[in-house]
Structures are given as structure tokens and as C-alpha cells.
Structure 1
């Protein structure tokens, strides 16, 4: 009987191993071998992926359906890299070598190229009302967040969020977005008890404000565009589109240019379609001396979050011929008041988009929905 049990255990273990394997490694600068923090790592053509940590290390579990696909690596200031998942799975640990982006053109060409890129971004910004969905529109969103303080157990929360936008992308701005976007948490699941107001607060609103196209702020603000240094990183394919990949940075690291009240550095990338100047993706790395825990855009006279570093991504895809938000994420680290390192990750995937939804009133800054086991047991999480 013991032999039978052991055989069954080994068989089940081998089945589990066959179903889920992991790609592990470290993303490093090919020249210096230093780790590259917050590298975007994902299965091509999907939203399934992860990001490297502050030292460049990563681990990505690969479900069966992605084992024959390609894995892309994207970091600000480096050339994109695409590798075969089957080849990576053969290794117990991979050193992913990214080459620093270089430009072999003279100063005159740099200046000329810069003017072209300014026109590309300005055209993309001006064409947002034409290229993106007008309101009223409604989103159903799968939202997840996790927080780990020092070596304490990780706190995880998942939610279904209904969000409505009365004007959509017809008048993109910070004030229009705040006025016309409302959201409600309808389902929730967490692995911790919520006894207080702070523990019930989600980071969904701040994450939703990282929808650069909806707010048309920062790099998409015509009045600020000249304050950014632009470089053409590549002309490449992205989700079937031919795109300009434009890197940007600014020495004016203030609230208007970064969306962060205490920012000290910003480096980003914009992916803009050559088809009709549709903005397909924005990603950036931001460093900040501190953050207000309620929202990065607010001032604070306390030091609840210091030495802040985070990487954010926003992607867009077409719905019935016009583009709209598809995915957001933000991976953040900071020191709390006890000098402990806190890792805070948030992701939002749009499950569906509808036109003329029932209007929501107000914003659910705090979740208080009941846990419904039947819903979560049958819910299929987006990949």
C-alpha cells in the first residue's frame, strides 16, 4: 500500500510539474552586468507577465498554453529583447542580457529626429478624441493588489470593479477624468481581515489615474511637450501594429510632468501606431522622495512612504473600431515609517466594455462587498 501511495504521489507531482513550469533569471545590463530594475516581462500578444524586482531578478510561472510562445523583455533605456519560452524553460536560471539603447546619428540628425518625434507625439495627443472611444462607456475590470511589508505575510486582494465614464476620451484631461469617471466594487476576495478604514481602502483610483491617454497629461500635454527629451528607440511590431517606440525623460520632474508631487526622476516609453497615431502603450519608471499614501499626486507633511520607486504600464486596444484602456499595472517599493521595505503591486485588466451603461454615482474608495465563494470559484482570471 505504501508503495502504491508513493507511486501515486510521484505521478501527481510529475503531472503538476508538467503543467506549470517557471522561467527564472535576472535581467542585467549587457555591458556592466548590473541588474535592471522593473523590466517589463510578458508573453507576446497577451497581458500575462511580470516585472523584475529592484535587483533585476524575476520568476514567471508559464501555463501550458504559453509554453510554445515568445517572451519579451522591455526596459526604459534598453533595446527590447524577445526570447523563446521553450528555450528558457530548459534552463534553471537565465541571465537576460539587455543592450543599452544607442544612437549612431550625428547631432544635426538628432535635432531633426527630435522635431519629427515631437510632431508624432503631438499628432497622437491631438487625435485622441478621433482614435478613442467617446462616452458614455462602461468597463468591467478585474483588479488585484498585493502588499508585503518586510518579511510579513503578503496581503492579497482581488476585486471586480464596475467603472463608468460619461465622456470617454472625447475631452481628455485631468479635471474631465475626475469629474466623469466613477466606479463601484461589486465583488471582493482577500486573504486578510479588514477591520479598519485604511485596510478597506484600495489603490484602484490612483491606478486608474495612470491612464495617460484619458488624462492627456505629462508627455501628452502640448504645453509641456518641449520639456521632454525624446529618442526613437525602434520602429517595430507590437500586437500586430507597426509602431514607433519613443523614449522620453524630463529634467522638470514635478507634479505636472510626472503626476507625482514629490517625483525626482521620470523615464518612459510611448508606443504609437504608424497607422493613425493611436497610442498603444505607455510605460515609465518614476523615482520619488516620498508619496502621500492616499495618492501620489497629493502633498503630505508626513513621511509614511519614502525612497519611492515604481514602474507603471498602461496598454490600449480597439473595441468596435475605437481604442480604449485595456490594462494597467504598477509595481512599487518604498520605506514605511519603521524603515521597513514595502512592496506594493496593482493590476487592472478590462474584462468588457459597454456603451451607454447605467451611470454610477461616486467612487468606492473603500471596498465593503461581501465575499461570495460561488462567484470566485467559477471566475476565470484573465491571463
Structure 2
């Protein structure tokens, strides 16, 4: 990789880095980003070096590891995430820290007494404008994403099982609203590298579970709050405006009174609500958080049918989708999905995370289909030297 590409690093997780904290010509800063009010970890918080494009993003548990060259010792790092007050620190003041705890304060403003019906109409109009601007704000031509994917499951009295993978995505048309069938045909993916916490022992160990990541991209996929045809089914409410990187972001809470397949993508859903964060300057979605309760859980994902699977009940799921702007277009930067359900007498938990590490919209590679099953042998040399970062072709 040449120096030009290295300068484009904007996402760097330290969870798989094999670099030593004492490595020559490096500054190492480790810690966790949390909510100052609740103490809960904040995933996908950006730690960017001001004046450069270098930086890191916190992982699912708010943890981060920032590795910098000594030449950046006199620079500042800004910690920012939608919905929180930004925080800045001098690199030289925190270099070598291994247990930093950065607490960000939630921030809102501009909530007042309004007529609920009129308020809902205002935000439905804003949602419509978001959809109308998708072609202008997001990648509107064929592209490839390459990303890091992690899938973890656990149950009572059992060790967690983890699968990590490098996933390649090809979108034949780019971002636009279309029907479910068309979007399904236009979006393809395949697994390239895989690492597991234990050896494959049965067919289900080779299943990928990646379809739910694709459906969580609410800009590209339908059956969500951006579906104008289902606007009457959504109740919208102002949660206030926040400042993010100096610009105003409108936060809208939404709820579906009677969830259905057309509004939630799953016929078993019993409650469906969330919050969508809209950048007011260009009417683009920066973040979406969805809370789901369901009476059943499909371990294969929403686009497949599980046959003769055990009964799974009391499903609770939280989905967080993030977008970032690169040059003039927004792209999918990351998705996290956390869920719990009950199978018989056992409580089961799961977590998925996907982070885009490479974007190619210049000369994307064309491929077809979706790779639902893999039995790829682990390339240990690859994983020992792998670090999650972002680059643009």
C-alpha cells in the first residue's frame, strides 16, 4: 500500500492489531468512550486528528486504540459522535495512555410545545425530502464495499462463539429506493477471509447471517421509516436538534402503531420504533436507531426461511446504522445489531457488527449472487497482520 492510500486512513480498530504499544516511532492511545449520563459505551465514536484524515472509531463496546506517528505529537484529537458534545485533547498529553475513559455529554436543543398533528406533518415532509435527495447525497452508481464483519452468539453457561470475516459487496445500481425484489437482485455479497473461535462442526457453522446487515442499510433497502407509501403508519415526533461538527441535525422519533411486513420487513414483529438523525444542511441521514420486539426470531435472517427450527420467543433487537460523507457523497460506514431471545428455557444473545473498510465507485468489480454458506479455511497469516481501516479506490 502506497503512502497516498495510507493517508486516507479514517477508521482504525485496535482489536486485531498486532502492533506493540512500545513499537518505535508510534504513539499509542487506548481507552473507551462512554455516555456521561448513563455510563453506557458509545459505538462508532470518531476520534479524528484535527488537520488530517487520520483517526479511529470506537468498537461495539466503545473501546478504541489509536496508533499515530510521532510527527503528530503536537496535534489535537477530536472525539465526536452524533448526539453528543465533542471533546478535544492534545496528543502529547495523552500519549501512552492505556485506560482512558472519555465521557461525552448528550446534547439536544430546540424542543418546544407544538401541535402533535402539525408536528407529524412537518417531519413526514422532511422524510420525503430525504428520499428525494438520496440520488444527490448518496452513491448513485455501481460500487463495491469491502468490510469487516463480526458475528457473535452466546447462551447461558456456554462460551461465546465468534465468526469474523472480510466481506465484499457489489451494488449494481447504487443508492436508490426500489421494490424489495429489485433491491435483492441488485445487491450481492461474498466472503473472502474467515476466522472462527472454534472449528466448523456442522452445517450451521458455515452460514453467514449477513442478509440482516444489508437490510439494516435503510437508505438502500425498503420496509422502514423512509417508505413514503407507508407514511400514514408512522407516528413521528420531535426529539430535538443537536449540533454535530458545527452543523444542525434534526432527531425524529418514530413508532409504528401496528407493525406489518411492509413497515418492518418481518411479519412476526410486535413493536417497531426508533430515532432517525437527519443532517439539515443537505437532508441526509447520518444515523438510524431501530428498536424491535418480535414473537419469533429467524436465525437465518429475514431473507431466508428457517425450516424445523426450535421455537424462539421474546425477541428484542436494537439496530444502529451509521453513514459518513466522503468528498461529495455519503456511504454506509457501519452497522451494529444486538439481539436477545428465549429458546426453550435458555436465554440466547447475539451481536453483529459491520464496518466498511474500502469503497470503490471508480471501477467496481462485478459479481453475482449471495454467499449464504462458506467453508473457507482460515488464513492465519492474513489475520495476524490485519487491521480494520478505510481506504477509497
Give me the TM-score of the superposition, normalised by structure 2: 0.75
Match of 1:205 in 2: 211
Structure scoring higher RCO (CA < 8 A, sep ≥ 6) equals: 2
Match of 1:42 in 2: 45
User: Post-superposition shift, 1:224?
Assistant: 0.8
User: Post-superposition shift, 1:267?
Assistant: 2.1
CA 1:101–1:366: 2 relative to 1, 3 Å: farther
Match of 2:92 in 1: none
Query: Given the alignment, which residue of 179, 184, 188 partners 2:185?
Result: 179
CA 1:173–1:237: 2 relative to 1, 3 Å: farther
1:221 aligns with 2:221: no
Match of 2:119 in 1: 113
Match of 2:350 in 1: 343
1:305 aligns with 2:312: yes
Contact 1:144 1:348 in 2 (8 A): no
Query: Given the alignment, which residue of 134, 138, 141 partners 1:135?
Result: 141
C-alpha separation in 2, matches of 1:96 and 1:307: 32
Query: Given the alignment, which residue of 154, 174, 177 partners 1:168?
Result: 174
CA 1:20–1:190: 2 relative to 1, 3 Å: farther
Kindly indicate which of the two structures has a greater share of residues assigned to helix: 1
C-alpha separation in 1, matches of 2:185 and 2:58: 33
Post-superposition Cα deviations, 1:116-137, rounded to whole Å, max 9, x if no partner, equal 1111101111222232222321
Match of 2:5 in 1: none
Unmatched runs of 5 consecutive residues or more in structure 1 = 1-13, 30-34, 52-57, 75-79
User: Post-superposition shift, 1:296?
Assistant: 3.7
CA 1:90–1:99: 2 relative to 1, 3 Å: farther
User: Post-superposition shift, 1:285?
Assistant: 1.4
Deviates more, 1:163-172 or 1:61-70: 61-70
Match of 2:325 in 1: 318
C-alpha separation in 1, matches of 2:187 and 2:87: 40
Unmatched runs of 5 consecutive residues or more in structure 2 = 1-20, 49-54, 69-74, 90-96
What value does the CA root-mean-square deviation take over the aligned residues? 3.8
Post-superposition Cα deviations, 1:201-230, rounded to whole Å, max 9, x if no partner, equal 112122111111101332111111122111
SS at match of 2:374: coil
Contact 1:229 1:248 in 2 (8 A): yes
User: Post-superposition shift, 1:24?
Assistant: 8.6
Give me the TM-score of the superposition, normalised by structure 1: 0.76
SS at match of 1:224: helix
Match of 1:231 in 2: 237
Deviates more, 1:62-71 or 1:136-145: 62-71
SS at match of 1:187: strand
C-alpha separation in 1, matches of 2:98 and 2:331: 38
Match of 2:338 in 1: 331
Contact 2:35 2:106 in 1 (8 A): no
Contact 1:135 1:170 in 2 (8 A): no
SS at match of 1:111: helix
SS at match of 1:194: coil
SS at match of 1:340: strand
Contact 1:141 1:352 in 2 (8 A): no
C-alpha separation in 2, matches of 1:354 and 1:332: 33
C-alpha separation in 2, matches of 1:270 and 1:44: 22
Q: How many residue pairs end up in the alignment?
A: 350
Contact 2:166 2:191 in 1 (8 A): yes
Match of 2:79 in 1: 70
SS at match of 1:290: coil
Post-superposition Cα deviations, 1:47-77, rounded to whole Å, max 9, x if no partner, equal 73356xxxxxx664565779964365x8xxx
Contact 1:330 1:347 in 2 (8 A): no
CA 1:302–1:99: 2 relative to 1, 3 Å: farther
